Structure 1
Amino acid sequence: MALYAELHRHLGGSVVPRVLWRYFQRNHTDLAGSFEGYEVFEDFYTRPRKTLDEYLELHTLVEKVQTDETLPYFIYRLMRGAYVFENLAYLELRYTPYLRTPDTLSQTERIDRMTQIVEIVGKSSEMIEYPIVTSQILCMHSRLPYEVNRAIVDLAAQMPQYVCAIDLAGGDAHYRDRLDEFIDLYEYARSLGLNTTGHLYETEEGCYPELLPFLMRIGHGIQIPLQFPELLPELARRGQCLEVCPTTYLKTGTLEHLHQLKVVFDRCFEAGVDIAICTDNAGLHNVRLPFEYESLLTHDIIGFEELQACQDAAFRHAFAWKHKERPASILSNILLHPEFDPVA
């Protein structure tokens, strides 16, 4: 069995349509009643949007039902699907904990409740029947105040048993007016020893070279090889990895055709910049990681050698993967050398 690593999956966008629909039917008949049936809901939930901002509005549909009480329900189904249907050995889940707290509370009370959310997500992800190595990436948000985002950084540093990194999300077109603020937050995070990634260079409006030096990985980053290939040697020197999520760019209107990604992969391989292939929002897209692999292969965007290189890169850049080898290599060693000890 080939086992994979997923480095860029949002908790809010990870709920597949059927699971969310059943939850609405059982617990929120008002939301289910807005649609004539499942097929209408699935079409609404998964169809392409014209812009990234329009696409991100769908997250609010899930965020408001992912509470401290319901998160175990959603995470159990997420982990089961990831293990059974995607062969994942490693999964980083990213989300903004503040947005899983009741909006009826004060800002201070919501900040205090974030610890509980991280604990619930962490404990709910630990399943013996679906053994996947998991960790969390806490997302600062472009539409949250500085005090909340700094509290998210502090929380990440305080809970290393559950959290492996921080991120910046909320639409990269919205960073410009607060760029100094986000630079300060990333500097603070690095001073605390935190790993960093960030949604950057996803769209043509989200290109901020000022943030690049603070990132260990780049969430999406496709505009770098597309528009600014002169930056690639510096990314290679820093050892930065792009988290490329193919289906996302069609769903958000960022790209018109999947084949446009061939330039991204070709230029990154030529420059020595690693790419990890990811799903981003597997539920919103109604796709799974092996589909992303197959789609890139069948459209002749990459070949099997390049695919394996990307799969290797995913484990190499995984923030919480503690082993020297990926699972497939460990299994091969066991088959060839039964005395091999993967823990040694």
Structure 2
Amino acid sequence: MALYADLHRHLGGSVVPRILWRYFKRHDVEMAQRFPEYPGFEEFYTRERKTLDEYLELHTLVEKVQTEDTLPYFIYRLIRGAYIFENLAYLELRYTPYLRTPDHLSQSERIDLMANIVAIVGQATQVKEYPIIISQILCMHSRLPYEVNKAIVDLAASMGHYVCAIDVAGGDSHYAERLEEFVGLYQYAHSLGLKTTGHLYETPHGCYRELLPYLQRIGHGIQIPLKYPELLPEIARLNQCLEVCPTTYLKTGTLQNLHQLKVVFDRCFEAGVDIAICTDNAGLHNVRLPFEYENLLTQDVIDFDQLQACQDAAFRHAFAWPYQQPPASLLTGLLQDNSTTLSQVMA
């Protein structure tokens, strides 16, 4: 029985390195020649970077091959791994649809094609043999023009059967010069009834208090308990949840070791702020969600009770989970009902 929820996973960073390498071997002569053997590609793809911007450059490597034709191929393998190896019952996939359209087309042509990308992703996630509830979060991007980002918000509102929320991504240090613009876009999203999250307070350079009131969840948010703990009571009052992605902070150079997250968890628990533990880019990290859990436990960042609280929080704050309880509670109720029925039959 799948038991877990991942609320923060990027479509571009979700492709595990071996699957991506095999794709390049078959379809990309340049990459195949550059990495003739798998170990060399894995080392390149998963190694730590010095900054978040350097790390995000890896997304472009995958975005260019996630096209209308190939998205079903990558998504099927993503779902298969998530169900079999991660025990996921619920997954929110986030991405910028504009970046999956052909870059030789005009901006207006690419905007017109975004709905097709969302539909392809939505249809590809309906895999009967791996029953995971999957919804999409569409990402505005810090390096895309206003017209494209507004079109992404409009698209999210028009395709609610596939899309559960919007986000802003692209490196939080790049928001500053366009902060008023993003505040306006989030206000517009709220007027359309959209749910919201956003990459914020991930690095010391991405701390914009002006955006906080417009978010139902905070993508990463670790700098709040680390550097601005005075904000935590308000975060708790607004019932905002932090989407904490442990391995990311090592891969981007944001933290030097995992144990630095202990302050994040301790201060959030003390303030009554929920945390959902997520993978962010499971493929780039070559680390699946249960290993994120295990790493936090074995390095004494959290204990088992805190882990359970985070797992429950993930379902409680999931934008499209259709039940009042997490699957473990549903399974317990089912087993109890079966036990009662069996007892009645035996009597």
> What range is the shorter-chain TM-score in?
over 0.9
Deviation by residue 1:285-306 (Cα, 9 ceiling, x = unmatched)? 0010000000000001101100
CA distance in 1, matches of 2:162, 2:335: 33
The runs of at least 4 aligned residues of structure 1 exceeding 3 Å deviation read none
CA distance in 2, matches of 1:218, 1:302: 20
The AA in structure 1 aligned to 2:244 is V
How many angstroms does 1:326 deviate by?
0.5
- Counterpart residue number, 1:49: 49
The AA in structure 1 aligned to 2:337 is H
How many angstroms does 1:68 deviate by?
0.3
Report which of the two has the higher share of helix.
Answer: 2
The AA in structure 1 aligned to 2:154 is D
- Counterpart residue number, 1:256: 256
Correspondence 1:133-172 to 2 at 5 A = 133-172=133-172
- Counterpart residue number, 1:94: 94
CA distance in 1, matches of 2:337, 2:67: 47
The AA in structure 2 aligned to 1:79 is I
The AA in structure 1 aligned to 2:309 is A
SS in 2 for 1:91: strand
The AA in structure 2 aligned to 1:300 is D
Deviation by residue 1:22-70 (Cα, 9 ceiling, x = unmatched)? 0001111221211241111100000000000000000000000000000
How many angstroms does 1:322 deviate by?
1.2
Q: CA RMSD in A?
A: 0.9
SS in 1 for 2:338: coil
Deviation by residue 1:127-186 (Cα, 9 ceiling, x = unmatched)? 110000000000000000000000000000000000000000000000000000000000
The AA in structure 1 aligned to 2:114 is M
The AA in structure 2 aligned to 1:91 is L
SS in 2 for 1:137: strand
CA distance in 1, matches of 2:339, 2:36: 59
How many angstroms does 1:337 deviate by?
2.0
- Counterpart residue number, 1:289: 289
What is the TM-score normalised by the length of structure 2? 0.97
Correspondence 1:10-89 to 2 at 5 A = 10-89=10-89
CA distance in 2, matches of 1:198, 1:297: 27
The AA in structure 1 aligned to 2:69 is E
- Counterpart residue number, 1:312: 312
- Counterpart residue number, 1:5: 5
The AA in structure 2 aligned to 1:44 is F
Deviation by residue 1:207-256 (Cα, 9 ceiling, x = unmatched)? 00000000000000000000000000000000000000000000000000
The AA in structure 1 aligned to 2:188 is Y
- Counterpart residue number, 1:118: 118
CA distance in 2, matches of 1:338, 1:323: 20
CA distance in 2, matches of 1:255, 1:43: 20
The AA in structure 1 aligned to 2:295 is S
SS in 1 for 2:7: strand
Q: Percent identity?
A: 76
Correspondence 1:191-340 to 2 at 5 A = 191-338=191-338
The AA in structure 1 aligned to 2:330 is I
SS in 2 for 1:338: helix
CA distance in 2, matches of 1:339, 1:9: 37
The AA in structure 2 aligned to 1:164 is C
Asked if the contact 2:241–2:275 (Cα under 8 Å) also holds between the matched residues in 1, the reply is yes
Asked if the contact 2:2–2:83 (Cα under 8 Å) also holds between the matched residues in 1, the reply is no
- Counterpart residue number, 1:185: 185
SS in 2 for 1:30: helix
The AA in structure 1 aligned to 2:72 is P
CA distance in 2, matches of 1:334, 1:77: 30
Asked if the contact 2:2–2:89 (Cα under 8 Å) also holds between the matched residues in 1, the reply is no
Deviation by residue 1:178-213 (Cα, 9 ceiling, x = unmatched)? 000000000000010000000000000000000000
Q: Flag structure 1 segments of 5+ consecutive residues without an equivalent.
A: none
Asked if the contact 2:244–2:276 (Cα under 8 Å) also holds between the matched residues in 1, the reply is yes
Deviation by residue 1:49-105 (Cα, 9 ceiling, x = unmatched)? 000000000000000000000000000000000000000000000000000000010
- Matched residues, number: 340
Q: Flag structure 2 segments of 5+ consecutive residues without an equivalent.
A: 341-347
CA distance in 1, matches of 2:111, 2:49: 32
Deviation by residue 1:239-287 (Cα, 9 ceiling, x = unmatched)? 0000000000000000001000000000000000000000000000001
SS in 2 for 1:126: coil
How many angstroms does 1:6 deviate by?
0.5
How many angstroms does 1:335 deviate by?
1.0
CA distance in 1, matches of 2:210, 2:91: 29
